[in-house]
Structure 1
Amino acid sequence: MSRKLFSRYSLASLVLPNRIVMAPMNRNRATDSQLAASAMTARYYAQRASAGLIIAEGTPVSPQARGCACTPGIYSTAQIAGWRQVTTAVHDQGGRIYLQLWHVGRVGHCGLRADASPPVGPSTIALHNDRVPVLDGGKEPVLQPCDPPRALRTEEVRAIVVDFARAARNAMAAGFDGVEIHAANGYLFDQFRCPYLNDRADAYGGATHKRWRFLLETTAAVAEAIGSERVGVRISPLGTAHEMQPDPAPLFTYGYLACQLDQLGIRYLHVYDQSGNWIHDPQSDLLQHLRACYSGTMILCGGFDRERAEAALRNDCGDLIAFGKHFIANPDLVERLRIGAPLAHWNASTIYKGGAQGYIDYPTLQEEAHSER
């Protein structure tokens, strides 16, 4: 079998020891009043520092951006200090780590903000079935239906561009190696992209290039703030998370975006297939089109195992492969993949529960062997 998955790769000034990326995954462990990452979070990421690159969890760029209880932010001094614990711990273990910058848009609840303000989006079109975790007077988050959103005014859209640039500078102050802009999974930028949700008549609605304007202006602002070589963007073509509908013209829509991001010179494009289907087909029109339109580093994510990862790299469909939930239960995932060891399975009930259980207590192969002795 090919061993390309374990070969070195240069990502701007970062030399990755392997092509395995830890995908961003919310873990909802920020329980203090400042909503800052804790020493436990630092341990969690340090345990997984053997990944070629860690992309830390989706992190709200402002109080308005929040969509889940107990997610650490990157908009305050205390939050910068909390994340600095994390980056120091990862770097001390020889790792590399980016931060995913996040605004949930309409996927939210009034109870997630101190001023009880409603979620915001491109329009007032609400979610019907989605629920989000909210602290409702107790210690444990409970799932509540999303509140109807308020449509952003044009000047507010431009203010969010500033929020992202500020958050990127905060991430650099916290010691991250770069940032990823979350434009996937039915969150704010994906909502503006969607012609079924975006009914705006201003500069951010209508034709495809106008619906992508928000993301492209944000990406340009972030690149100007910290350097394009430290910026990535994540997208989820054909995704249906958070009641989204697949784009009616994905080759044109995402091809246009990929070309524009290529011109901005950002470091990578992170492509997530929520279905875990088309991304494994080297003949996929969408995958080939994205590869042709974007000349930088491409990260592929969605249902990969070692065999599928090696095949994607061998067929030059992408440059790096992101693994998500396998990293939850396998802090030494890189070593397990390298030697073909069995993978531990994650406990779904503790992914978002809080506390150490199901977070930092999954053993490595070495720890398992030691306990058996």
Structure 2
Amino acid sequence: MSQLSKTNLFKPIKVGLIELKNRVALAPMTRFRADSVNFTANDTMKKHFGDRAKNNGGLLISDAISVSWSGIGYPNGIMVQTKEQAEALKPTVDAVHEAGSFFSAQLFHVGRNAVPATMKARGLRLIGPSADTFADADAEKAAKESDMKLEEMTLDDIEQLKKDFVTSAKNAIEISGADFVEIHGASNYTLAQFADISANKRTDEYGGSIENRSRLMLEVVDALVEAVGAEKVGIKFSPYMTFGGGSGVDGEIHCIAQYAYLYSELERRAKEGKRLAYVSNYEARLAGFTKDGDFGLSTEYSFEWASQIWKGVLVRAGGYLHIPEYKSLIADVNADDRTIIAFGRYFTSNPDLPSRLRNGYPLTPYDRSKFYSPGEEGYNTFPTYSESK
């Protein structure tokens, strides 16, 4: 057994109405393995999640699922907007359940960070909180090369977006059989764009003040709580992230001020009897892509303020297995009795990651070059520790 075996990482924890057997989660990775035409899940994904659910008993969070065609952004993603799409995801969820683990369907809309060429090919608009507020010069160049304009979302667009989140959430729970849905309020996609003053230049009720820029995020939370129940809803934030055009600590409004308000509003709802299943944090150790194609380590910012405000289950992710002797992992998971640690890259190359961490087995290096390539290679081709022996 390893030093991790005696930590909180391998103690059960109640999330919503479900008790997980451990606090090891599969982070949402969005590996673009779904059908490229209908955006439906397939057997490749079923095997990937099913393998990682075996001998586990923890939480597996899905690839990001687009709530509508207007926010697909990338090729080979997943959708559950229709009955057929939701039914296509069900075998993957069933495989996770049959192995004794649990499944959260992450829902997102990419907004201004959609790939312009993809949107152009499908005859879709490129939309975001405000017109012409591109993430960076490269994003603006890509839009111009595809003859696409970044349009400001109308109030009708916003109302439709909320309805799309509700439809997808209900389909994921009621048809696909997911245990939870996770609102993707991170990675500088649409909901996070509304919260960021650099992307949101609106002058109506969805722009300007911290409260107004938080409005859409909280309206989506309230809509999903009403649709499927607070105990089945999670949400993901990444306050410090600058990848994708986020302001981070350098914004006109500091990210802590913005997100402390969001945490406070979630905790207020919790005290009123509507506590979410969990809040997930994608943390600042991941700075963005480096020249070698991997993520680089950045300044480490404290998240103590978040756990002081939000008193529910907290999922934390961000380079934990890169820290020598797992010092930060041990410190964070043992800091309280409500923290889950999510792993992404090493869960790709180690389908039996919980077992390896518990037993102290060596980890198989991941291959970033195959993260986003289609098919089985680099996705379902990594052996377990016993198979490798």
SS in 1 for 2:158: helix
**Closer, same or farther in 2 for the Cα pair 1:291/1:317, shift >3 Å?**
farther
The alignment partner of 1:206 has SS state of: coil
Corresponding residue SS for 1:209? helix
Residues 48 and 130 (structure 1), Cα distance of their counterparts in 2 relative to 1, 3 Å cut: farther
Aligned-pair identity (%): 30
Match of 1:122 among 116, 129, 138: 129
Residue 171 of structure 2: aligned partner = 170
Displacement after TM superposition at 1:92 (Å): 0.7
Which letter does structure 1 place at the counterpart of 2:78?
P
Deviations 1:207-235 (A, max 9, x none): 00000000000010011000000001100
Going from structure 1 to structure 2, the CA distance change for 1:251 and 1:33 (only over 3 Å counts) comes to: closer
Aligned partner (choices 8, 11, 15) of residue 11 of structure 1:
15
Alpha-carbon offset, residue 112 of structure 1: 2.8
Q: 1:258 to 1:289 in 2, by over 3 A?
A: same
Question: Which aligned pairs between 1:139-150 and structure 2 lie closer than 5 A?
Answer: 147-150=148-151
Structure 2 unaligned regions, length at least 5? 270-274, 287-296
Aligned equivalent of 1:161: 162
The 8 Å contact of residues 164 and 218 in structure 1, kept in 2 or not, is answered as yes
Task: Give the CA deviation at 1:107.
Answer: 0.8
User: Structure 1 residues 280, 311: closer, same or farther in 2, change over 3 A?
Assistant: farther
Residues 280 and 9 of structure 1: is their aligned pair in 2 closer, same or farther, counting only changes over 3 Å? farther
Aligned to 2:372: 352
SS in 1 for 2:227: helix
Please say which of residues 316-325 and 326-335 is displaced more in the overlay. 316-325
Is the contact made by 1:233 and 1:268 (CA closer than 8 Å) also made in structure 2?
yes
1 CA distance for matches of 2:139 and 2:103?
30
Looking at structure 2, the residues matched to 353 and 249 of structure 1 have their Cα atoms a distance apart, in angstroms, of 36
Q: Quote how far apart the aligned CAs of 1:90 are.
A: 0.7
Residues 64 and 203 of structure 1: is their aligned pair in 2 closer, same or farther, counting only changes over 3 Å?
A: same
Matches within 5 A, 1:104-253: 104-113=110-119, 115-124=122-131, 125-130=133-138, 147-172=148-173, 173-246=175-248, 247=251, 248-253=253-258
Higher mean C-alpha deviation, range 294-303 or range 120-129: 120-129
- Cα pair 2:135 2:199 within 8 Å, conserved: no
Distance between the aligned counterparts of 1:262 and 1:189, measured in 2? 19
Q: By how many angstroms is 1:254 displaced?
A: 1.1
Task: Summarize the alignment of residues 207-356 of structure 1 with structure 2, pairs less than 5 Å apart.
Answer: 207-246=209-248, 247=251, 248-264=253-269, 265-276=275-286, 284=302, 287-305=303-321, 306-316=326-336, 319-356=339-376
- Aligned residue for 2:177, secondary structure, equals coil
Change (3 A) 1:310 1:319: same
Deviates more, 1:83-92 or 1:236-245: 236-245
Residue of structure 2 in register with 1:24 after alignment:
28
Per the TM alignment, residue 146 of structure 1 is displaced from its structure 2 partner at its CA by: 10
Structure 1 unaligned blocks of 5 or more:
135-143
RMSD of aligned alpha carbons:
2.2
Partner of 2:293: none
Q: What's the TM-score, normalizing by structure 1? A: 0.90
Contact 2:80 2:168 in 1 (8 A): yes
Q: Secondary structure at the match of 1:243?
A: coil
Shift of 1:130: 4.9
